[in-house]
Amino acid sequence: MADPKENVLMEKIVSLCKRRGFVFQSSEIYGGINGFWDYGPLGAELKRNVKELWWNTMTRMREDVAGLEATIIMSPKIWEASGHVATFSDPMIDCKTCKGRFRADQINDISCPQKPSKMVSECAGEKTAPRPFNLMLQTYVGPIQSEENIAYLRPETAQAIFAQFKNVLETSRQKVPFGIAQVGKAFRNEVTPRNFTFRSREFEQMELEFFIKPDEVVEAISGSVATPAAAGHPGEPQPNWGWQLWHQYWVEERVRFYEGIGLDRSTLGFHIQTPEELAHYARATTDILFKFPFSKVDEQGNVKGDELEGIAARSDFDLSQHERFSGKTMGIFDEELRTAWGKLPKEKQDDLWRRYYQARKNYLEKSGVKPEDAEKDATEDANGLAKGQYIPHVIEPSAGVDRLILALIANAFTEVTDTDDKGKSETRVVMKFHPRVAPVKAGVMPLLKNKPELVKKALAVRDLLRPWMNVYYDDAGSIGRRYARQDEAGTPYCVTVDFETLGEKPELLDTVTIRHRDDGKQERLAIGELRDWLLARGR
């Protein structure tokens, strides 16, 4: 369990989130609804910034990724093909005494809802045997609530990407390797939503499916497959990269993203899934963890963290499943492969053919295809190599927006104690958000509210900045109070219009004071430079 001291921190964070308008309980006036959260004015801005940064980093700043925005409700066949209808479930147990309902694999971690002061493991009540509970939220499409009209709210954004793979490939003029990115809502009827927004029933995901050539194809084209030589970022992608290097590349790219928005590597952790944890089709999965205030502390005092994002090497499972279930081909034609194949010595062709055949046969058999059909289909698939045909493999970096927001809030939360001239101390909160994610980029304020020239100039500065970034105009109370308010909102800079701005000292005409949140340092800057100065730091 987390150290009790740390849970006090979590309580402070939850209370700040409500007090300052980061996160509210959904439907609060009706007593709330478990597992659903709303983002208030500051939270909404923070979330927007995070999603926009992700989108820009993953699509606009890259040549090899295209975007998608698909519907939340899709054909239920998608969820049959993906395996969600059959297997997307958690083991659920009930306590016959307290009537609590729990995930069997978390029974020792959580409080009993009926007796919040008690841990479940202390609740001696007899438990039912675990039974699978499907996490997909169900609805009906059309006026009749019948079996054939059942549809699901998507439990992940990824499947739409696979289902639209061919359309995006054809319209974006991309070639494998390339990726498709999507940000959007996902829904899971979690048995026990908990840890504030960490495990919600409605949440948002930011997912990339990055399609790569199977290793056999890379080998046919490049002669051999490069494998990881060292830990860390492997550098610019190369044509001879196999799935392992692509996987390593995406783990490191994602860590860079987190570092770029203020989550230092020391705040992160990693979990490499064991062969027992991996899905049968997955080659490897690395989870990037964040050390949340509620994360467990082990006997040595180390905190491993809880999952922010999973980066999975999913082989060609998803596209293959959709090919089988829809009857539409998901394979692609690669001229480079066709040409390269023709030039390979016979033994090499046979070797690659055999390996590809084996991989396809394994997949088909594990997916329930009869052995004789699996052999036939795998033979056809392997014969496709000579014609330049194959089903791409995929690397999937899949991140949760809400978990990241919570991580950013926990990471930013800092208490500082100020002591005034009379020796009176006051502890207050400074939210040290990285300027790139900060909900408000600059507070704009006239030194005094009752001096029309100051107010007029300050409003002009606000209007100058407003089309470019979120700014907050504040003229209420002492300047110290106003700074403190912005510190609590996490605003990295405050811009103050004072008498010098108006030309009290002619050399300072049209300059403003910039006050830095984290060290209180102040400097002067010309109004004409202000916009670019702030954009350089906050974008």
Looking at beta carbons only, is 188 or 462 nearer to ligand ATP? 188
Looking at beta carbons only, is 204 or 498 nearer to ligand ATP? 204
Please say whether the beta carbons of 429 and 16 come within 8 A. yes
Question: Least Å distance between CB 234 and ligand ATP?
Answer: 23
Question: Least Å distance between CB 205 and ligand ATP?
Answer: 5
Looking at beta carbons only, is 308 or 391 nearer to ligand ATP? 308
Question: Least Å distance between CB 203 and ligand ATP?
Answer: 4
Question: Least Å distance between CB 271 and ligand ATP?
Answer: 10
Looking at beta carbons only, is 118 or 185 nearer to ligand ATP? 185
d(CA 433, CA 519): 13
Question: Least Å distance between CB 307 and ligand ATP?
Answer: 5
Looking at beta carbons only, is 100 or 305 nearer to ligand ATP? 305
Nearest 5°: the CA angle 382, 180, 394 is 35
- Which residues, other chains included, contact 51 with Cβ-Cβ below 8 Å and sequence gap of 6+? 183, 204, 206, 401
Question: Least Å distance between CB 214 and ligand ATP?
Answer: 23
**Closest to 141 in 3D by CA, of 76, 188, 83, 223:** 76
Per-residue buried b or exposed e for 191-217, using 16+ beta carbons within 10 Å of the residue's own CB: bbbbbbbbbbbbbbbbbbbbbbbbbbb
First to last CA, the chain: 38
Count of beta carbons in the 10 Å neighbourhood of residue 327? 7
Looking at beta carbons only, is 200 or 486 nearer to ligand ATP? 200
Looking at beta carbons only, is 402 or 475 nearer to ligand ATP? 402
Question: Least Å distance between CB 163 and ligand ATP?
Answer: 17
Please say whether the beta carbons of 251 and 272 come within 8 A. no
Question: Least Å distance between CB 278 and ligand ATP?
Answer: 12
Listed in order, strand segments (DSSP E) in 388-455 are 389-390, 393-400, 413-419, 425-431, 442-446
Looking at beta carbons only, is 112 or 289 nearer to ligand ATP? 289
Question: Least Å distance between CB 281 and ligand ATP?
Answer: 14
Please say whether the beta carbons of 116 and 105 come within 8 A. no
Looking at beta carbons only, is 178 or 292 nearer to ligand ATP? 292
Question: Least Å distance between CB 87 and ligand ATP?
Answer: 12
Binding residues for ligand ATP (CB under 6 A): 156, 188, 190, 199-200, 203, 205, 307-310, 398-400, 402-403
Please say whether the beta carbons of 392 and 247 come within 8 A. no
Listed in order, strand segments (DSSP E) in 188-337 are 202-212, 268-272, 284-290, 306-313, 332-333
d(CA 402, CA 203): 6
**Closest to 517 in 3D by CA, of 444, 406, 431:** 431
d(CA 471, CA 466): 6
> Nearest residue to ligand ATP, using CB?
400
Strands 178-187, 202-212: parallel, antiparallel or unpaired by DSSP? antiparallel
Looking at beta carbons only, is 135 or 469 nearer to ligand ATP? 135
Looking at beta carbons only, is 183 or 444 nearer to ligand ATP? 183
Please say whether the beta carbons of 311 and 206 come within 8 A. no
Question: Least Å distance between CB 101 and ligand ATP?
Answer: 16
Nearest 5°: the CA angle 35, 39, 40 is 140
d(CA 475, CA 430): 20
Nearest 5°: the CA angle 470, 475, 478 is 125
